[in-house]
Amino acid sequence: MLTLNKFEKAYDKVQEIVLPTKLIKSDYFSEQTGNFVYLKPENMQLTGAYKIRGAYYKISTLNEEEKSKGLITASAGNHAQGVALAAKRQGVKATIVMPTTTPLLKVNRTKDLGAKVVLCGDVYDEACEHALKLAQEKGFTFVHPFDDLAVATGQGTIAMDIFKELPTVDYILVPIGGGGLATGVSTLAKLLNPKIKVIGVEPAGAACMKASLEAGKVVSCEHVNTIADGTAVQTPGKKIFPYIQNNIDDIITVEDEELIPCFLDLLENHKMLAENSGLLTIAALKHLKAEGKKVVPIISGGNMDVITIASLVQHGLIIRDRIFTVSVFLPDKPGELTRVSKVISQAQGNIVKLEHNQFVSINRNSAVELTITMEAFGTEHKNKIIKALQDTGYKPEIRSSKSVF
């Protein structure tokens, strides 16, 4: 059983290693949602994610024989770094099996923390199968990333943090991959206040926990397809599932496309970087059927490689109509390019890229296709620029902006 006494012991233990991640009152998200939103920034944790809590506490509960065998685990990245650092601090050797799709940043950081990294499989479940095989062959002590009550107890210390700062919290939003974080947070939250609502948030492309709750038993997703790699799990934990059934009030599923604007919102309004799995609870704020409540979304991690960041920025700007592309046809004569540029400039558009093609037609009156990619302040400004072009006699057609960068 997960008891209050165990959570209190875990809380005291993890204070040896965790950084304080104080709640951040978000005026922006509060205004957007009609609630009082307080961010729990576990992306600012020592390893860039909450996972250090469960890993450190779990290893502290092992006996000397279990530690001497060396540890092994499977992880998409954040648990890997948590185990690697916790093992290093406690003088234990660790091997981490990671999916081949794991971002390079997470792989390199895990190695830098002293762990041996083995890449295997396309998703977490395949990596876990290989880790279990190695544990059996070489006698390693396996540390499960989520289906372990000691690990879940360590993760649950986040709820203690929240209650210490905001005892009157009404809702906690928690990301769900395999369910370890949700188990710990929801169980402790209900022990501290049975009336609190704890909502799990899953990517729609890996909603194995939602499917399991609907089935009344643990089931697997046939396919996993999500940019939220930290929660790309096919099968939730069996040991922790009863706690989820008892303590999670609801599950919200989020489409990948919803995470992209959330990335920009968090970056621009709070100067905070969160990975896709950490953005799940931010995206869920708009789905929450509540008003005037104190809501704490847990931002579970912030480990993201630069290529992914660049892609999210690009797509986010396009989705927000802050980057858009149009094409217009011009007469093939001097001065026309200047004329178009002047119209855009007067409408306060900023040209990013031009493609000038003279060979699309033999009609010299409309022989040149000009493809223009430009910056705008948003949809209203974009429409203003397009109208200015139309009023000048052009017929702008919207084009895809995905290749702009």
Catalytic residues: 51, 300
What are the phi and psi torsion angles at 320 (to 5°)? -85, 5
Contact 225, 203 (CB under 8 A): no
Beta strand spans in 156-307 (E):
171-175, 197-203, 250-254, 294-299
Contact 318, 382 (CB under 8 A): no
Q: What does the CA dihedral 97, 103, 108, 110 come to, rounded to 10 degrees?
A: -40
Burial of 335 (C-beta count, 10 Å sphere; 0-12/13-18/19+)? exposed
What are the phi and psi torsion angles at 153 (to 5°)? -65, -45
196-231 residues labelled b (16+ CB within 10 A) or e (exposed): bbbbbbbbbbbbbbbbbbeeeebbebeebebbbbbb
* Angstrom distance (rounded) from CA 159 to CA 316: 31
What are the phi and psi torsion angles at 234 (to 5°)? -85, -35
Of 284, 377, 286, 248, nearest in space to 324 by CA = 377
**Distance, first Cα to last Cα, the chain:** 53
* Angstrom distance (rounded) from CA 185 to CA 54: 12
* Cβ neighbours around 333 below 10 Å, total: 10
